Structure 1
Amino acid sequence: MTKRELRSLYLEKRKELSKEEVITASERIFRRFLSNFFVEKNQKIHLFLSIEKFNEVNTLPFIKYLQEKEVRIFVPKMLQGDIISVEILEDTILAKNSWGIMEPISDEDSGVVDFDYIITPLLYCDPAGGRVGYGKGFYDRFFAGINAECKKVGVGFFKPELFVDDLTEEDVSLDYLVTPDEVLSFKIGC
């Protein structure tokens, strides 16, 4: 199926999830992430702030846990059509942007490119790590500017079943996918 077809299909599937299903599945994804990935003080982890109205995976448990572990946390901010990475602290002020996404009010890009993990939103991920997002290419451009050693970890509610037929050179695949039921690796040799 094409990205467009998969985007439409999985937007609808996600829309059908109840708030309780989103909360429960998000908690399972969080626990599965912790049991499969090593997290320690001073690591640098980039993760998205969930859009509740779109039934995205709730990342609040990740943020609370990472703050307790004294991990450096970075979140995306849209600036001039691209993602910059802003470090957040407990006192960081957030505000909704024009798309209704919470983000830091600061426009200061951290300049960090050597994250340990980038926990990535998605609508769908195929069996080879091909990611389908909202279709604007923000994360593909962001991934192109980071250290190749960074682990790109997608979090999503659905098991990969169908392949994306129209991936291009600009589409950056994920290294891992965490769902409520499993963790899949797309890295060769893992």
Structure 2
Amino acid sequence: MKKSDLRKKYLEKRKSLSDVEIFQQSETIFKNFVEYFKPLSLQKVHIFIPIHKFKEINTQLFTDYFFSRNIKVFVPKIADAKLISVEIFKDTEFAVNRWGISEPVSNEDSGIIDFDFVITPLLYCDSAGNRVGYGKGFYDGFFENISEKSKKIGVNYFNPDENIDDVREEDIPLDYLVTPTDVLSFFNKGLE
């Protein structure tokens, strides 16, 4: 199936989820992530702030856990047409941008490239780790500039059940996908 068709299909599937389903599934995804990856104090995690109107996974569960375990937290921000990584803390000031997305007020790129985990938003991921996002390519550009050892982890409500037909050469696949029912590894990188 083409990315544009998958994007439309999975946006529709998300629209049908209730707030209760979103919270419950987000909680299960979070638990699956922690049980599988066992993040440790002082590790570095890049994680997205959810776009509520698109019913994205509730990542507040993750960030609260990371802060409570002294894990360093970084979030994306679009600055000068590229995705940068801003370190956040419990008291970081946020503002809603022109697209309705909450992001840190700071424009200071952390310069970090050796994240332990990059928790990535997506609409769909196929069984090879190919991702369908919103079509802007920000994460592919971001993935190009981080360490190869950084684990690129997608989180989604849905498991892969169809292939993406129009994967481009510049598309960078995920290493893992965490859903409410599974943690899938695409490249057998293993946990180091």
Name the TM-score class by shorter chain: over 0.9
Aligned residue pairs total 190
Q: Does 1:40 align with 2:40?
A: yes
Residue pairs, 1:109-124, within 5 angstroms: 109-124=109-124
**Cα offsets for 1:82-106 (capped at 9, x unmatched):** 1100000111100111111111000
Find the counterpart in structure 1 of residue 126 from structure 2: 126
Are 1:3 and 2:17 counterparts? Answer: no
Which whole-Å CA distance do the structure 2 matches of 1:72 and 1:160 have between them?
30
What fraction of aligned residue pairs are identical, expressed as a percent?
A: 54
Equivalent position amino acid for 1:20 in 2: V
Distance 1:160 1:146 in 2: 25
How far apart are residue 80 of structure 1 and its match?
Answer: 1.5
Listed as ranges, the matches of 1:87-126 within 5 Å are 87-126=87-126
- TM-score by length of structure 1 reads 0.98
* Cα deviation digits, residues 43-84 of structure 1 (max 9, x gap): 000000011121100000100000000001000001111110
Structure 1 residues 43 and 7: CA distance shift in structure 2, 3 A = same
SS in structure 1 of the partner of residue 56 of structure 2: coil
2:62 match: secondary structure: helix
How far apart, CA to CA, are the structure 1 residues paired with 2:34 and 2:187?
A: 19
Name 1:65's counterpart in structure 2: 65
Q: Secondary structure at the match of 1:20?
A: helix
The one-letter code matched in structure 2 to 1:22 is I
Query: Match of 1:16?
Result: 16
- Listed as ranges, the matches of 1:145-184 within 5 Å are 145-184=145-184
SS in 1 for 2:27: helix
Structure 1: segments with no counterpart, 5+ residues: none
Q: Cα distance 1:79–1:5, how it changes in 2: closer, same or farther (>3 A)? A: same
Which SS does the other structure have where 1:76 is aligned? Answer: strand
Point out 4+ residue stretches in structure 1 off by more than 4 angstroms.
none
Q: Is the partner of 2:63 in helix, strand or coil?
A: helix
Does residue 138 of structure 2 align to residue 138 of structure 1?
A: yes
Q: C-alpha offsets along residues 104-125 of structure 1, whole Å, 9 cap, x if unaligned?
A: 0000000000000000000000
Matched, 1:26 2:6: no
How large is the RMSD of aligned CA atoms in angstroms?
0.8
Rounded Cα–Cα distance in structure 1 between residues aligned with 2:104 and 2:175? 27
Report how far residue 38 of structure 1 moved: 2.3
Task: Give the whole-Å Cα distance in 2 for the aligned partners of 1:39 and 1:101.
Answer: 27
The structural deviation recorded for 1:189 is 5.6
